[in-house]
Structures are given as structure tokens and as C-alpha cells.
Amino acid sequence: MEEIIRLENVTKKFGGLTAVDNFSGSIETGSIVGLIGPNGAGKTTLFNMMSCTYPPTSGKIFYQGVDVTKARTDSMAIRGLARTFQVTKPFGDMTVVENFMVGAFLHTRDKHKARQQAEEIYEYIGMSCGDKKCANETTTVDRKKLEIGRALATKPKLLLLDEVMAGCNPQEKLELVETCRKIQKTGVTLLVIEHDIKTIMSLCGKIIILHRGAKLIEGTPEEVANDPRAISAYLGEDYHAGC
Ligand SMILES: Nc1ncnc2c1ncn2[C@@H]1O[C@H](COP(=O)(O)OP(=O)(O)OP(=O)(O)O)[C@@H](O)[C@H]1O
Ligand SMILES: [Mg+2]
């Protein structure tokens, strides 16, 4: 299988703090991969480097075989990388559909086309707040969907989801899992950060555990769930026991 993104010996230092420590790994095109680990493990920092919000201190990042280590965020969006934000960042005074239009404008300057695409995304993502609702007035789950929808409107090939299920109830999480699967079926590759272990294990074909900035283990959900290193660093004995 082809890889859509590859990181080689990537390190990120913030002053004296090493947030990501010599991380190497790749994501296969078409897969759903889970990125998990304790708070502060460096997950979001990895997303920031993949999306070129800032460059690594050292190491290289290749996207579809091209060295993008020093690329800009806008060029990554054009290449097909989209991400959501852990702390949702809607354009608060704009409606939900207008937020989606912002994404759609990446590929068209035609306002009517952008609106049509945004309305399609509104339906596709299953929002219930009303398409004319001001983004600031939406519920947690709709804000999460808004993040996904705005990213989807840019027509991504690789979608990075940073805790889109956090703060959602079990039913809403199930819905979001189905949404992720639906997106994957259209050929989009997904890299998903989540703390809900049960949910992430059920969604992903591969799991990467990040611990203190470094990759602790990578494997299928089963392999990871039964690995003593994963249990002691993050999952805990309860998960091992199948609770
Ligand atoms: N811009 C920054 N400046 C300084 N330190 C930072 C910066 N961004 C992140 N860090 C630090 O880097 C480490 C990794 O942070 P990061 O946000 O990547 O963790 P995370 O795995 O996403 O955690 P969480 O699960 O809590 O979201 C933390 O110690 C954090 O405080
Ligand atoms: Mg984070």
C-alpha cells in the first residue's frame, strides 16, 4: 500500500522541552489510524507539524513522496491535507453553512458553487442545528461536526481529527464513528486523536501510542491492547482485563 504521509526522525523542541522526540512513522493511503497517548504526549504537536503550522526542530516530513518539511499551511491545504482543532475554532459570527463555504473557497471562487457544496456538506455531516444558525450558538457536538465539515469542504485526501469526539455523549460518538467510516469510504485517509480508547480501538485499523513525545508502540488494536508497555503507560490494567 502507498503511504500518504511519512515522518522521519521528527523532533520538536519548545525551548528546553522536547514535545516530540525522534518520531518516525507513516500512514497508508485509505486507512484510519488512531494516535493516542497521555495528556502532553505530543499528539497535537505532531498534527501541527504535519499540517505545517510550524516546522520540526529536526527531521523530515514527506507528503505523497514530496518533502514538505518547510512547506506552508496553505500549500498543505491545496495538496489535500485538512485538520480540525482540539479547541474548536468556528468563525463564530458566521452561519454553519458560511463556515463550510470558507473551506469550499479553497477550490472555487464562485459563491454559488461554494454555497451549494457547503449545503451538501451540511446534509452529509448530519448537523441538526439549522443551516442558518450562527456558529457560536451551536452545541458541542455540532461544533465538532462543524470542524469536520469545514475541513471536508476543502476536499481533503488526508484528514487529521484532533479529539473531535471529546465532550460528546456515547450516542454522539457512535454517530461520529459512522461519519469517519463514511468519509474513509470516499477514499480519504484519516488520522484520529482520541482519548476514548474503546471508540478509537473500534474505529481504527492501526494504533500508534505516543508517550513523552516518542512512539511507544504501533500495531493493530489487538496488538496494542495486549502489549504490556501500552498497558502500563496509558491503557491501564482495566482495559487489559477487557473492561
Ligand atoms: N507552542 C508551544 N509552546 C510551548 N510548549 C508547547 C507548545 N505546544 C505544546 N507544548 C508542550 O508540548 C507538550 C506536548 O503538547 P501537545 O499539545 O502536543 O500534547 P497532546 O498529546 O496533544 O496533549 P493533550 O492530550 O492534552 O491534548 C506539552 O508539554 C505542551 O505543554
Ligand atoms: Mg492535544
Instruction: Indicate whether 242 pLDDT > 70.
Output: no
Please work out whether the CB of residue 54 comes within 6 Å of at least one atom of ligand 1: no
Q: Are residues 139 and 195 in the same domain?
A: no
CATH of the domain at 193: 3.40.50.300
User: How does pLDDT run across 144-156, given as a tens digit for each residue?
Assistant: 999 999 999 999 9
Would the CA dihedral through 85, 91, 95, 98 be positive or negative?
negative
Residue that finishes a domain, picked among 118, 134, 154: 154
Its domain, for residue 99, covers 83-154
Ligand that comes closest to the CA of residue 19: 1
Give the count of beta carbons closer than 10 Å to the beta carbon of residue 169.
11
Q: Are residues 181 and 229 in the same domain?
A: yes
The residue ranking higher by pLDDT, 133 or 118, is 118
Please work out whether the CB of residue 12 comes within 6 Å of at least one atom of ligand 1: no
Q: Are residues 181 and 123 in the same domain?
A: no
Q: Are residues 58 and 3 in the same domain?
A: yes
Q: How confident is the model at residue 236 (pLDDT cuts 50, 70, 90)?
A: confident
Instruction: Indicate whether 241 pLDDT > 90.
Output: no
Mean pLDDT score, 73-77: 97
Instruction: Indicate whether 85 pLDDT > 90.
Output: yes
Q: How confident is the model at residue 29 (pLDDT cuts 50, 70, 90)?
A: very high
Cα 9 to averaged position of ligand 1 atoms, centre (Å): 18
Q: Are residues 160 and 72 in the same domain?
A: yes
Nearest-angstrom CA–CA distance, 123 and 52? 30
Tell which atom from ligand 1 comes closest to the C-alpha of 15.
Answer: 4
Q: Are residues 41 and 97 in the same domain?
A: no
Tell which atom from ligand 1 comes closest to the C-alpha of 41.
Answer: 21
Q: Look at the pTM and tell me if it is higher than 0.75.
A: yes
The number of folded domains in the chain is 2
Q: Are residues 162 and 240 in the same domain?
A: yes
CA distances 107 to 72, 78, 101, 113, Å, are 17, 8, 10, 10
Q: Which of 36-40, 133-137, 160-164, 218-222 has the lowest mean pLDDT?
A: 133-137
b/e string for 13-43 if b means 16 or more Cβ within 10 A?
A: eeeeebbbbebebbbebbbbbbbbbeeebbb
Mean pLDDT score, 49-53: 98
Q: Are residues 1 and 63 in the same domain?
A: yes
Instruction: Indicate whether 243 pLDDT > 70.
Output: no
So what's the pLDDT on residue 157? 98
So what's the pLDDT on residue 240? 59
Q: Are residues 9 and 104 in the same domain?
A: no
Is residue 193 classed as helix, strand or coil in its secondary structure?
A: strand
Cα 48 to averaged position of ligand 1 atoms, centre (Å): 10
Cα 46 to averaged position of ligand 2 atoms, centre (Å): 9
Cα 161 to averaged position of ligand 1 atoms, centre (Å): 16
Q: Which of 13, 36, 43, 45 to mutate to test the pocket of ligand 1 (most atoms within 8 A of CB)?
A: 45
